[in-house]
Amino acid sequence: MAASYESLFGGILAEVEGEMRAARQEQREVAPLMWQMIDHHFGWNAEDAAQRARIAGKRVRPVLMALVAQAIAGSYRHVLPAAAALEFLHNFTLIHDDVMDRSLERRHRPTVWSIWGSDQAINAGDGLYALANLTLTRLLRLDVPPARIVRAAAVLSQACLWTAEGQVLDMTFPQREDVTVAEYLTMITHKTATLIEAAAQMGALLSTDDEAVVQAYGQFARALGIAFQVRDDYLGIWGDEAITGKSATGDIREKKKSYPVLFAWERAGDSDRETLRRIYAQPTLSDQDVQQVVRILERTGAPAETERVADDYYQAALRHLDATGSANAAQTQLRQLASFLVRRAY
Amino acid sequence: MAASYESLFGGILAEVEGEMRAARQEQREVAPLMWQMIDHHFGWNAEDAAQRARIAGKRVRPVLMALVAQAIAGSYRHVLPAAAALEFLHNFTLIHDDVMDRSLERRHRPTVWSIWGSDQAINAGDGLYALANLTLTRLLRLDVPPARIVRAAAVLSQACLWTAEGQVLDMTFPQREDVTVAEYLTMITHKTATLIEAAAQMGALLSTDDEAVVQAYGQFARALGIAFQVRDDYLGIWGDEAITGKSATGDIREKKKSYPVLFAWERAGDSDRETLRRIYAQPTLSDQDVQQVVRILERTGAPAETERVADDYYQAALRHLDATGSANAAQTQLRQLASFLVRRAY
């Protein structure tokens, strides 16, 4: 499946990578350690190309932005600095998230904080966000109208603010017993979907002044982002370990309040809800606890409901995509990207 | 002295405060806790005005930016969003610095992390940086030419990156025995002076296209920022406790590698250097250690040298200010601000 993504979007991936590296190379190094941390995070210090590609990941947001620009304007060269900026921004949030989650590994390598400590990892994230903003201003050199660049900056910054607010909300959930499905959707809309929405909006507004088109692409991507996250929640419990590479039921063991869990919590009968309350009040869950939670989730119909919700958002996304009025090869690739993100089994 | 600053710059302070609040009020609250943290940091939840003013502090960067705009263009209204953005950015670095330094208090109130924990304080800082960038785009509504806004964004982002790099360097100093005076100057130039330089540059480039004028104001402010920090280092050891409000010799007790300490380390004779090495190798310093360090510093002539260096940068700053070619009331106020920052005894 990685080969298929690569064959579809490899050209874009290579150009985004080139722009990211050019923006990074342009900086003279005041504190070499800052650049060591950033180079490590992106795998730019890795020796072989295959390893670097694995570390780079799918780069969904830059690919989405490029395809939207291509669908509207027939080319994506004029959005490359914005695509690189958004990828830098996304990665700054990952570096900080890893500090907050105490995650030891990302993409099979040690996280920045696990090597250099939390304090320096905070600095690395801050510096990378600054680099993201600086990279956006490279659009000036491509003769993009400055008014569009300022608008792109506003979308990028608003998305970053909302992502941070989504993260604030997410971190309050574990201590709460009364999180609703509606609150959960608000949280993922901001924490996860906003940057995906921003990718499409920026690709559009840098390519056209037609506000209706910009909005339609934005709505497409927001719904897609929500569908992606809900599908991810499904796979976090019922995914095939051999395909996802993650431990099945790992999300339950970590007491993540994901969509299926919150749905079950709302729908369970009194006795099941009491069992959930008792299990989630414990500091850690045994294998038996995990199995019992899964049984309760399945009794409430959470798996089917979770798949239904993901599919509803996916179908809504496709309707918004049709509403953009574009019909060309890039538009077809956008459908393929959407399918790749939501229909995946991994 | 606070009254004097207030009487000179009170008008600017009020308008910057108004712009900051307007930018903040415009945000709908996705995560109320985010805004609780930000409002706490700025004292916007404080009841009486006197307390709020004390929490707000001197807001040197916005005042500097406004005065430069006034000196060039006869008004500062057109830079208010940029001034608010820079103040937001400066405060995001303070929120993260407090996490890294484990500081319990700032401006006589508990720091954000000490109330809500380090993880949420990281989010508060990230969100505030995003708000800073978003606030900058409010310049569009004041009909500032978009090309100037993009350039202001580039200066702001470069300054933020360098500030983060300065912080990275600063945090490596305690573990090193071989920090030179030259490295120290590089560190403070980035960690402290860059945002002050950015204030002046942004005020200028939003007011004129004359590149020589923009550069001269930038050089003025960078030299001023360095002078300010070196003077601060002097006061951190030889300041009058009753005036500075900080414990004299506190910097030595905390083993800060400030200018006088590094100068003495370079100039001390073999025996004094060995004593310094022994004292700084300890986890904590006794009163006797502190007194001995002060004696060595004074033996090497560090107090006079530190004052001389601060004054050299101060004089250089004034020469750059004269080179801007402006001569009006705002220019006089810039000299007063410079004197206030470097000639202070507190």
pLDDT digit string (tens) for A100-152?
999 999 988 999 999 999 999 999 999 999 999 999 999 999 999 999 999 99
Cα(B91)–Cα(B128) distance, integer angstroms: 8
Inter-chain residue contact B168 with A34, CB threshold 8 Å: yes
Q: Which amino acid is at B291?
A: Q
User: Which has more pLDDT, A251 or A64?
Assistant: A64
**Of B116, B96, B117, the residue nearest B171 (C-alpha):** B96
Name the residue facing A33 among B34, B153, B168 (closest C-beta).
Answer: B168
Inter-chain residue contact B30 with A158, CB threshold 8 Å: no
Mapping DSSP to helix (H, G, I), strand (E, B) and coil, where does residue A105 land? strand
pLDDT interval class at A222 (50, 70, 90): very high
Kindly report the length of chain B.
346
Cα(B184)–Cα(B189) distance, integer angstroms: 8
Inter-chain residue contact A31 with B130, CB threshold 8 Å: no
**B339 alpha-carbon distance from chain centroid:** 15
- What percent of chain A has a predicted confidence (pLDDT) above 90? 85
| Residue B247: C-alpha distances to residues B97, B98, B342 (Å) | 20, 19, 20
Q: Which amino acid is at A90?
A: H
Q: Which residues pair with A110 in a beta bridge?
A: A105
pLDDT, position B107:
87
pLDDT, position B244:
65
Cα(A226)–Cα(B158) distance, integer angstroms: 34
Mapping DSSP to helix (H, G, I), strand (E, B) and coil, where does residue A106 land? strand
Please state which of the ranges A193-207, A325-339, B242-256 shows the lowest mean pLDDT. B242-256
Closest residue in A to B132 (Cα–Cα): A157
Q: Where are the domains of chain A?
A: 2-342
pLDDT at position A154 over 80: yes
Closest residue in A to B121 (Cα–Cα): A168
User: Which has more pLDDT, A250 or B90?
Assistant: B90
pLDDT, position A56:
78
Enumerate the residues of chain A whose CB falls inside 8 A of the CB of residue B134: 154, 157-158, 161
Chain segment B128-166, per-residue pLDDT in tens: 999 999 999 999 999 999 999 999 999 999 999 999 999
Cα(B246)–Cα(B241) distance, integer angstroms: 6
pLDDT interval class at B47 (50, 70, 90): confident
pLDDT at position B5 over 50: yes
Kindly report the length of chain A.
346
Name the residue facing A165 among B31, B145, B156 (closest C-beta).
Answer: B31
Mapping DSSP to helix (H, G, I), strand (E, B) and coil, where does residue A193 land? helix
pLDDT at position B246 over 70: no
Got the DSSP string for A4-73? HHHHHHHHHHHHHHHHHHHHHHTS--SSHHHHHHHHHHHTTT-SSHHHHHHHH---HHHHHHHHHHHHHH
Q: Which site among B96, B115, B133, B167 would you substitute to test the A interface, given the most A Cβ atoms closer than 10 Å to its Cβ? A: B133
Chain segment B307-333, per-residue pLDDT in tens: 999 999 999 999 999 999 999 999 999
pLDDT at position A2 over 80: no
Task: Calculate mean pLDDT across residues A200-224.
Answer: 98
Name the residue facing B30 among A118, A150, A190 (closest C-beta).
Answer: A190
Cα(B159)–Cα(B221) distance, integer angstroms: 13
Cα(B237)–Cα(B247) distance, integer angstroms: 9
Please state which of the ranges A31-40, A239-248, B205-214 shows the lowest mean pLDDT. A239-248
Task: Calculate mean pLDDT across residues A201-208.
Answer: 98
pLDDT, position A230:
97
CATH of domain B2-342: 1.10.600.10
pLDDT, position A245:
63
| Cβ A62 vs Cβ A12: under 8 Å | yes
DSSP B178: -
Q: What is the mean pLDDT of chain A?
A: 94
Q: Which residues pair with A47 in a beta bridge?
A: none
pLDDT, position A78:
98
- What percent of chain B has a predicted confidence (pLDDT) above 70? 97
Tokens of A190: 């901001």
Please state which of the ranges A253-257, B113-117, B163-167, B334-338 shows the lowest mean pLDDT. A253-257
Cα–Cα–Cα angle for B123, B125, B131, rounded to 5 degrees: 105
Cα(A285)–Cα(A279) distance, integer angstroms: 7
pLDDT, position B2:
45
Enumerate the residues of chain B whose CB falls inside 8 A of the CB of residue A141: none
| Cβ B158 vs Cβ A171: under 8 Å | no
Tokens of B233: 């280092």
pLDDT, position B145:
97
Mapping DSSP to helix (H, G, I), strand (E, B) and coil, where does residue B102 land? coil
Tokens of B23: 């930018």
Handedness of CA B298, B302, B308, B313 (dihedral sign): negative
Cα(A41)–Cα(A22) distance, integer angstroms: 16
Rounded to the nearest angstrom, the minimum Cα separation between B292 and chain A is 32
| Cβ B234 vs Cβ B260: under 8 Å | yes
Cα–Cα–Cα angle for A25, A121, B156, rounded to 5 degrees: 55
Closest residue in A to B173 (Cα–Cα): A31
Q: Which residues pair with B106 in a beta bridge?
A: B109
Q: Which residue reads 């108004």 in tokens? A: B18
Chain segment A266-293, per-residue pLDDT in tens: 999 999 999 999 999 999 999 999 999 9
Provide ipTM, 2 decimals.
Answer: 0.95
Burial degree of B122 (CB within 10 A; 0-12, 13-18, 19+): buried
